[in-house]
């Protein structure tokens, strides 16, 4: 295992390696490179959070003042610090009380108007609930159900000698 760690490509050395050549690397090297890349990404994210925290502390009060001068609580404002333009965005996140909206929709309908003129309605079915329904109900809903898949992920882990011995599928592909 130590030979695999010392006699292997680094992230820097594979930066311009053709993917076909990477396919030829031993799986242990791929696992180590994947772990190195995840560690580097985590470190970069922590550094970015640290830098963005400092930027927020530096410009937060100016952004608040710029929004106040523009007569708004949220949104984008621009200002300069020397030769640097700062674009400060504070997005608006609106949440609606679903129970109250349902009550309002019924009141609109009772008043003779169409709630669709005022509201967009969508239906969701929790997958866990769908799986627990009786078969006849699932069959009725099945034509309205579409399954899409996300991006596949693969996490490689180098097995210890004990794990290779104790896991029946270790060492085989397929």
Tell me the H-state helices in the chain: 2-6, 11-14, 19-23, 27-69, 98-110, 127-132, 135-141, 161-166
Q: Are residues 110 and 50 in the same domain?
A: no
Q: What are phi and psi of 78, to 5 degrees?
A: -125, 140
How many domains does the chain contain in total?
A: 2
Average pLDDT over residues 156-167: 77
Q: Is 35 among the domain residues?
A: yes
Angle 15-20-23 (CA atoms, 0-180°, nearest 5)?
90
Q: Are residues 117 and 47 in the same domain?
A: no
CB atoms within 10 A of CB 101: 14
Asked if residues 63 and 90 have their Cβ atoms less than 8 Å apart, the reply is: yes
- For 8-28, the pLDDT digits (tens) are 899 999 999 999 999 999 999
Q: What are phi and psi of 86, to 5 degrees?
A: -105, 130
Q: In this structure, which long-range contacts are made by residues 141-147, counting pairs with CB atoms below 8 Å and at least 24 apart in sequence? A: none
Q: Are residues 115 and 87 in the same domain?
A: no
- For 73-121, the pLDDT digits (tens) are 999 999 999 999 999 999 999 899 999 999 999 999 999 999 999 999 8
Q: Are residues 35 and 118 in the same domain?
A: no
Q: Is 99 among the domain residues?
A: yes
- For 99-110, the pLDDT digits (tens) are 999 999 999 999
Query: Six-digit token pair at 154?
Result: 């693969």
Q: How far is Cα 17 from Cα 19, in angstroms, rounded to an integer?
A: 6
Q: Are residues 56 and 5 in the same domain?
A: yes
Q: Which domain holds residue 134?
A: 95-147
Q: Is 51 among the domain residues?
A: yes
Q: Are residues 27 and 83 in the same domain?
A: yes
- The whole-model pTM stands at 0.66
List Cβ neighbours of 74 (8 Å cut-off, separation of 6 or more): 67, 90, 91, 92
pLDDT given at position 156? 77
Q: Are residues 127 and 80 in the same domain?
A: no
Q: Are residues 81 and 114 in the same domain?
A: no
Burial 140-170 (b: 16+ CB within 10 A, else e): eeeeeeeeeeeeeeeeeebeeeeeeeeeeee
Q: Are residues 103 and 124 in the same domain?
A: yes
Q: Are residues 10 and 87 in the same domain?
A: yes
- For 32-55, the pLDDT digits (tens) are 999 999 999 999 999 999 999 999
């Amino acid at each position: 295992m130590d030979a695999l760690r010392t006699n292997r490509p680094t992230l820097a050395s594979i930066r311009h390696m053709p993917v076909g050549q990477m396919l030829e690397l031993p799986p242990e090297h791929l696992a180590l490179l994947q772990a190195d890349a995840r560690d580097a990404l985590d470190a970069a994210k922590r550094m970015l959070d640290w830098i963005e925290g400092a930027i927020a502390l530096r410009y937060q009060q100016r952004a608040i003042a710029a929004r106040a001068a523009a007569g708004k609580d949220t949104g984008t404002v621009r200002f300069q610090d020397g030769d640097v333009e700062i674009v400060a965005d504070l997005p608006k996140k609106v949440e609606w009380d679903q129970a109250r909206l349902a009550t309002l929709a019924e009141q609109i309908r009772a008043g003779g108007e169409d709630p669709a003129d005022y509201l967009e309605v969508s239906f969701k079915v929790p997958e866990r609930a769908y799986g627990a329904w009786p078969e006849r109900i699932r069959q009725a809903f099945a034509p309205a159900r579409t399954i899409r898949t996300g991006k596949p992920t693969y996490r490689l882990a180098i097995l210890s000698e004990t794990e290779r011995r104790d896991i029946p599928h270790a060492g085989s592909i397929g």
